[in-house]
Structure 1
Amino acid sequence: MGGAMAVLNRLAGAPIVTRLGLKRPMERTVTRLTKTGFQTAGAAGRTWVAARRLATPKRPPAGPERALFDLTLSDEQRLIRDTVVEFAAERLRPAAAEADGACQAPPDVLSTATELGLAAIGIPEELGGVSTERSAVTNALVAEALAHGDLGLAVACLAPAAVSTALVLWGDEHQQATYLPAFTGEQLPAAALALQEPHPLFDPFSLHTKAYRGAGGFVLSGVKSLVPRAAAAELFVVAADLDGRGPALFIVESGGAGIGIEPEPAMGLRAAGTARLVLDKVTVPESALLGAGTSTVYTECVRLARLGWCALAVGTSQAVVDYVIPYVNERVAFGEPVSHRQGVAFKVADMATELEGMRLVTLRAASRAEQAKPYGREVALARKLCTDKGMAIGSDGVQLLGGHGYVKEHPVERWYRDLRAIGLMEGGVLV
């Protein structure tokens, strides 16, 4: 089963698991994953055919309603989070610098992420996944844990899950039967949610990519930018303006005529392998329209994607704080640690305080989404706070390291570059 099973077995035997009363839930998790089987990557030239017929689309039910905001995690959430934390520390963090320079994620890292079944977390059990209810909070915890290792690699690992989540939430019975089995089977496809466009002051609700009705379907033309793992992707969910009526989501298979990929390395998120997706009169069938093209579906997609970026900001900001604290305690200047200076100590305290605010507002928005409560206001607040404070934490981390904050010997400069993306990225991830 590879590295993922080794991680789970280590966790199952750890003393803390027994002490916290989690041994039996962990054993159930290991048994279920062993029964289901972990997936392996490598699915070039896939043919998308419905594996079975579904009478109706399968949607995960909303989570139980809570009168009060409660951050207590379930046993399964704790196990998933702890497993991903260890994966991020052991695999993502050591590979991050090289992946940033190469502008792509290492295949072995993506393979292990696939084995962990990240794309199946939000898929209902009836469709081969592991979800019994909406899992926005769990997905946010996973995104945060991955980003603590590296934000760019986290995006690369989560890109296929964005597509599988979109299919679960808004796909009809035919779309789910055709595409979702690949995300729970032995060959996980590279896939991406493409909303971003290369235009100044990009507004996701005013798209330049157009979709017009054609013979038997739709014709798409336009350019999407900063699409993670676009060069390897076999499946895209693309946002386009439908006949001038407003934005809609379309399922686009990579093998279609008129699809082009152009490299687009950016200031940050380099490990995600971002590229431009060029659509030149790409024809898709009528069945490619996701969620019947309704405005509410697209609005929810934008909100859940922004929430995903907030969770990523929390994870990377935590990495900055965790790196800076021992540095300022150990760095000696004028005969004492620099943390003894009030200007340094107060700055670190501010970073930690703002980080907790980012985490709380993000999880509150995810909790409301999970319970099918209105959550637009909460997502807007989370995006504002995580954009401003995430960039500030990254900048302060560089500043507190002095000259060391500017060189690649220390990872804080990379985290700062990655955190700059939080306020401008649309799509790519989804909770």
Structure 2
Amino acid sequence: MTARRILPTEEATDLLKLVRDLATRELLPLAASAEKNQEFPREVFRLLGRTGLLGLPYPEEYGGGGQSYEVYLQVLEEIGAVWSSVGVGVSVHALSCFGLVTAGTEEQKQAWLPDMLGGELLGAYCLSEPHAGSDPAAMRTTARRDGDEYVLNGAKAWTTHGGRADFYKVMARTSEERYGISCFLIPADTPGLVADSLETKMGLTASPTATMLLDDVRIPVERRLGAEGDGLKIALAGLDSGRLGIAAVATGLAQGALDQAVAYAKERETFGERIIDHQGLAFVLADMDAAVQSARATTLHAARLKDAGLPFSREASIAKLVATDNAMKVTTDAVQVLGGYGYTRDFPVERYMREAKVMQIFEGTNQIQRMVIGRSLDKDNNGTITTR
């Protein structure tokens, strides 16, 4: 039972069909084994890059797909429904490219973007620190100017693709002012940049997460994106888009769990009837479906605002909050529908439940999303009406 969609163009419709086929044919057979054995599927990302799926929301002139966020997020959802680790990885890669696209010089874009968007170079995003997760302005990693270079020292926690990425977008402090933070694009083979031991996680086990250690990492000034002090602005602007990416993956994860639960409920019989014919169970499935569709609607609403060039920060937080909370509820209910089987690893729903939890945490915890939403309600937000 795949999602029903209304897409803006025939090209987008064909793209979604291609993604669904690729996910079913190439990703699905690998997912369970890779998650069980904690194997990072680097070749899958190269495949996605070669098929143009890693740079979808970015300009074609630099090797991107030139697609709207409305379409890009539905692609992410299709991937997330089959393999969340890959869906999250695609979203993180897009986030790691954001600073270069929005704040890089034309020379920087021409030099680096084609390989980044084409998948030859896989990215990682380094903002959080061990003591500064939800408050990035409290970061302590420093970047000291030394002639034509910067020297970086510090540690960046919870880095998706840590130790496996080819480049890292790093935020570091360039002045003592609270917001004196700058943005740098650092190649993985730069001396002094190393990954600490991989985190042992309850879910997304095929997606490596590590603290990145920076010990006198020297990079040329040309590796800074934007002006000194622009880093936090670049980071927060990117997080709005990144939250939509996680909302889309969470929606896909919930859809995948719902599909598994419905398929099981149609086959399993008790008291001479399929369990889907029992009203109590059917109501659970109905609530799951409503939750998935609500998540999709809020996510696509925010995407359409972004595509229209309108403010979407509050709506991105709403989408992330709704989609990830709903994914946690839907995956938990999917385990309940399958009963004892749902608690075993013979069926994927127990993995879906474990994977859903972290989506309420990264790209800003859902408590942070509530703060963002609440503060926005205290401002004078005039309603905007646009024509599609």
Q: Would you call these one fold, judging by a TM-score over 0.5?
A: yes
Letter in 2 for 1:249: C
Structure 2 SS opposite 1:256:
coil
Structure 2 SS opposite 1:155:
helix
Equivalent-residue separation in structure 2 for 1:334 and 1:130 (angstroms) = 53
Equivalent-residue separation in structure 2 for 1:211 and 1:137 (angstroms) = 37
Structure 1 residue 158, shift from structure 2 partner: 4.8
Partner of 2:165: 233
Partner of 2:204: 269
Partner of 1:129: 64
Partner of 2:143: 212
Letter in 1 for 2:82: G
Letter in 2 for 1:252: I
Matches within 5 A, 1:395-406: 395-406=332-343
Q: Any idea what the Cα deviations from partners look like across 1:13-38, whole Å, max 9, x if unmatched?
A: xxxxxxxxxxxxxxxxxxxxxxxxxx
Structure 2 SS opposite 1:105:
coil
1:344 aligns with 2:275: no
Structure 2 SS opposite 1:276:
strand
Asked whether the 8 Å contact 1:208–1:222 carries over to 2, the reply is no
Letter in 2 for 1:88: A
Q: 1:139 to 1:209 in 2, by over 3 A?
A: farther
Asked whether the 8 Å contact 2:19–2:78 carries over to 1, the reply is yes
| TM-score w.r.t. length of structure 2 | 0.84
Q: 1:251 to 1:269 in 2, by over 3 A?
A: same
Q: 1:108 to 1:175 in 2, by over 3 A?
A: closer
Partner of 1:193: 125
Structure 1 residue 285, shift from structure 2 partner: 2.7
Structure 1 SS opposite 2:206:
helix
Equivalent-residue separation in structure 2 for 1:241 and 1:85 (angstroms) = 42
1:308 aligns with 2:239: no
Equivalent-residue separation in structure 2 for 1:196 and 1:205 (angstroms) = 6
Equivalent-residue separation in structure 2 for 1:378 and 1:250 (angstroms) = 28
Equivalent-residue separation in structure 2 for 1:114 and 1:72 (angstroms) = 23
Letter in 1 for 2:9: S
Asked whether the 8 Å contact 1:248–1:298 carries over to 2, the reply is no
Q: 1:196 to 1:139 in 2, by over 3 A?
A: farther
Structure 1 SS opposite 2:65:
coil
1:203 to 122, 134, 138: 134
Matches within 5 A, 1:31-430: 72-131=7-66, 135-183=68-116, 188-199=120-131, 202-216=133-147, 217-244=149-176, 245-246=178-179, 247-262=181-196, 263-292=198-227, 293-294=229-230, 295-426=232-363
Equivalent-residue separation in structure 2 for 1:205 and 1:106 (angstroms) = 30
Higher relative contact order (CA 8 A, sep 6+): 1
| TM-score w.r.t. length of structure 1 | 0.76
Structure 1 residue 181, shift from structure 2 partner: 2.7
Structure 1 residue 424, shift from structure 2 partner: 1.2
Q: 1:393 to 1:94 in 2, by over 3 A?
A: same
Q: Any idea what the Cα deviations from partners look like across 1:59-86, whole Å, max 9, x if unmatched?
A: xxxxxxxxxxx95421222122211111
Letter in 2 for 1:383: K
Structure 2 SS opposite 1:221:
strand
Asked whether the 8 Å contact 1:159–1:228 carries over to 2, the reply is yes
Asked whether the 8 Å contact 1:136–1:370 carries over to 2, the reply is yes
Equivalent-residue separation in structure 2 for 1:154 and 1:400 (angstroms) = 25
Asked whether the 8 Å contact 1:234–1:254 carries over to 2, the reply is yes
Equivalent-residue separation in structure 1 for 2:136 and 2:208 (angstroms) = 25
Asked whether the 8 Å contact 1:122–1:165 carries over to 2, the reply is no
Structure 1 residue 372, shift from structure 2 partner: 1.4
Asked whether the 8 Å contact 1:194–1:238 carries over to 2, the reply is yes
Equivalent-residue separation in structure 2 for 1:75 and 1:241 (angstroms) = 46
Structure 2's unaligned 5+ residue stretches are 365-388
Letter in 1 for 2:222: S
Structure 1's unaligned 5+ residue stretches are 1-69
Structure 1 residue 99, shift from structure 2 partner: 0.9
Structure 2 SS opposite 1:118:
coil
Equivalent-residue separation in structure 1 for 2:58 and 2:295 (angstroms) = 27
Asked whether the 8 Å contact 1:119–1:164 carries over to 2, the reply is no
Equivalent-residue separation in structure 2 for 1:383 and 1:330 (angstroms) = 33
Letter in 1 for 2:65: V
Asked whether the 8 Å contact 1:137–1:366 carries over to 2, the reply is yes
Letter in 2 for 1:99: A
Equivalent-residue separation in structure 2 for 1:149 and 1:71 (angstroms) = 21
Q: 1:109 to 1:72 in 2, by over 3 A?
A: closer
Taking only the aligned residue pairs, the percentage that are identical comes to: 31
Structure 1 residue 359, shift from structure 2 partner: 0.4
Structure 1 residue 298, shift from structure 2 partner: 2.2
Equivalent-residue separation in structure 2 for 1:158 and 1:384 (angstroms) = 17
Partner of 2:384: none
Partner of 2:367: none
Q: Any idea what the Cα deviations from partners look like across 1:315-363, whole Å, max 9, x if unmatched?
A: 1100011110121121112222222332211111111001111001101
Letter in 2 for 1:267: M
Q: 1:277 to 1:150 in 2, by over 3 A?
A: same
Structure 1 residue 225, shift from structure 2 partner: 3.0
